[in-house]
Structure 1
Amino acid sequence: MPNKEKSSTVPTKGIYLLPNLLTTAGLFSGFFAVVSSMNGHFEHAAIAIFVAMIFDGLDGRVARMTNTQSEFGAEYDSMADMVSFGIAPGLVAYNWALDDMGKFGWLAAFIFVSCAALRLARFNTQVGVADKRFFQGLASPAAAGVIASIVWVGTEYQLNGHDYGLIMGIITIVTGLLMVSNFRYNSFKEVDWKGKVNFVVVLLIVLVFVIVAASPAELLCAIFVLYMASGPVTTIKTVKKLKLEHVVGDDQDAEFKTDSKPKVDKESD
């Protein structure tokens, strides 16, 4: 006689709502940035990219907190990141400063978009094996933050982006290439957010919030540009002798002196 209780143990198919809802919100923000830049609303476009960064940071954390991780969610998040941090920043930069530069303009934007795609593909293949302390290459949200913050500052000071097309094109290309480089960027995943801090640290945090509220565009631009420059500095300080493999190429050929004791990812045990 067949066991009727077996049907109750079969897992039901479906998609977790909350984390994928946050991913959709990030995707919408990236799409909104593209549309806004096409209509000439570059400040709105830049802000939308930063909003997408917030949702991108929330969806993964919410999925882990609620134990709703899934392969679908991971793939969907990658597709959304490609739109929000690849296509959107490239088109925002193109519409703001590069559309009068001819082939150089659209090629610069394409280099950024293609490098973002390569960066995301490489990251997905290294999940679970990469050193959690560092990102290999500039993370795509940080690269998008560089482009968005520069455009935001430009619109704040009413600068005509076309007057700075060559400079913006070079920045766009360099930012894109940094994403596919082997430069090591601190991931800040070792920071103990649950630990105790000195009272002065709390005062400094309050001061930071005041500065952000007063001049968000300028402060975000400074933060992301400095972080972009930190990769080469960190790499040069980490290795004994800088080689080509430390800059670009197969990451397995790049040997760093901090890799002698690789950190164990406890979450994968």
Structure 2
Amino acid sequence: MKTLGAKRKLGGAIYILPNLITTGNLFFGFFSIVKGLQGNFLWASGAILLAAIFDVLDGRVARITNSTSEFGVQYDSLCDLISFGAAPALLMYKAGLSEAGRLGWIVCFMFLACGALRLARFNVQSSIGKASGDFTGLPIPMAAGVVACFVALWMEFETKPSDFLVLFWIESLIQNSVFRQWFFAITGLLLAMAMVTNIPYRSHKTLNIRGIKPFRLLVLAVAMVALIATQPEMFGFLIFFGYALSGPLEWIFGWTKIVDDDDIFEQDEQGSIEP
């Protein structure tokens, strides 16, 4: 009887663990909003990136411990909307679009609304077994990463001016308030559209690295970490921005096809319409 009780307690702990990690995602999303309201954009952008790390970890832990649940899926999406929808939208507004008037908050609202639509579509696709493989539309954490890394890069140039000629040109451009305003306005709308588009984006689940020898893979990983460490804000922005562009580019060159998602609005057995 004691052994059976111990197993039940362990099972409950394993079930709670991924949801605790998801709560860490929510905490850093809320922390980003607080810091954004205070005008501390470096902490606000960093908190979004930390939330993304927790977002990756909760899914990994749930799969490893075999503790995935419908509750966890819904809770994760609600936290994602705060961390990768509301937090970056507020960050864009405070860091560059507050002086753009009505256009500024409309762009931020579009980012938030499209992020919510993206998460709702993903939840429905998960419930009908169509969320495996590549993503349909830009994942909301990647869209938030573009905003967060751009702000982090701007803050880095504010505190540590670069001595490199190319970076100095980029630095002077980013520090221009008019450029930042236009960047947030245009990029914010494009990211919003990318999240609700039917263009597929590559998922890490579809990457095939079995053919690469482990030692070579380790050397490649070390080299990439060393390269990113030289200018993490710059390379972080290039990685997130490059991924955001990868979907439309692959579609334009004919490497991927538009995904049909009309079935997310089909009626369920009770006759109600799926969200």
Normalising by structure 2, report the TM-score. Answer: 0.79
- Confirm whether residue 39 of structure 1 aligns to residue 49 of structure 2: no
Deviations 1:146-193 (A, max 9, x none): 111111111111255743212211111111111001111101212356
RMSD: 2.6
Indicate the SS of the match to 2:205.
Answer: coil
The whole-number CA distance in structure 1 between the counterparts of 2:133 and 2:83 is: 24
Indicate the SS of the match to 2:73.
Answer: helix
The whole-number CA distance in structure 1 between the counterparts of 2:67 and 2:215 is: 36
Indicate the SS of the match to 2:206.
Answer: coil
The whole-number CA distance in structure 2 between the counterparts of 1:193 and 1:23 is: 28
Q: Is the 8 A contact 2:84 2:144 kept in 1?
A: yes
The whole-number CA distance in structure 2 between the counterparts of 1:225 and 1:174 is: 11
After the TM superposition, which residues 67-78 of structure 1 pair with which residues of structure 2 at under 5 Å, given as runs? 67-78=66-77
In the superposition, relative to structure 1, how do residues 129 and 73 fare at CA in structure 2: closer, same or farther (>3 Å)?
closer
Deviations 1:96-137 (A, max 9, x none): 001111001000100000000000001111115336332111
The equivalent residue for 1:141 is 141
Indicate the SS of the match to 2:251.
Answer: helix
In the superposition, relative to structure 1, how do residues 194 and 24 fare at CA in structure 2: closer, same or farther (>3 Å)?
farther
After the TM superposition, which residues 66-215 of structure 1 pair with which residues of structure 2 at under 5 Å, given as runs? 66-127=65-126, 128-130=128-130, 132-158=132-158, 159-160=174-175, 162-163=177-178, 164-192=180-208, 197=213, 199-215=215-231
The whole-number CA distance in structure 1 between the counterparts of 2:131 and 2:262 is: 12
Identity rate of aligned residues, in percent? 41
The alpha carbon displacement at 1:63 in A equals 1.2
The whole-number CA distance in structure 2 between the counterparts of 1:79 and 1:252 is: 23
The alpha carbon displacement at 1:252 in A equals 4.6
After the TM superposition, which residues 230-241 of structure 1 pair with which residues of structure 2 at under 5 Å, given as runs? 230-238=246-254
The whole-number CA distance in structure 2 between the counterparts of 1:50 and 1:227 is: 16
Which is richer in helix?
A: 2
Name stretches of at least 5 consecutive residues in structure 2 with no aligned partner: 159-173, 264-275
Deviations 1:21-58 (A, max 9, x none): 10000000111111111111111111111111111111
48-57 or 228-237, which deviates more: 228-237
Name stretches of at least 5 consecutive residues in structure 1 with no aligned partner: 1-7, 254-269
Q: Is the 8 A contact 1:96 1:161 kept in 2?
A: no
Deviations 1:57-107 (A, max 9, x none): 111111121122222211111100100111011111111001111001000
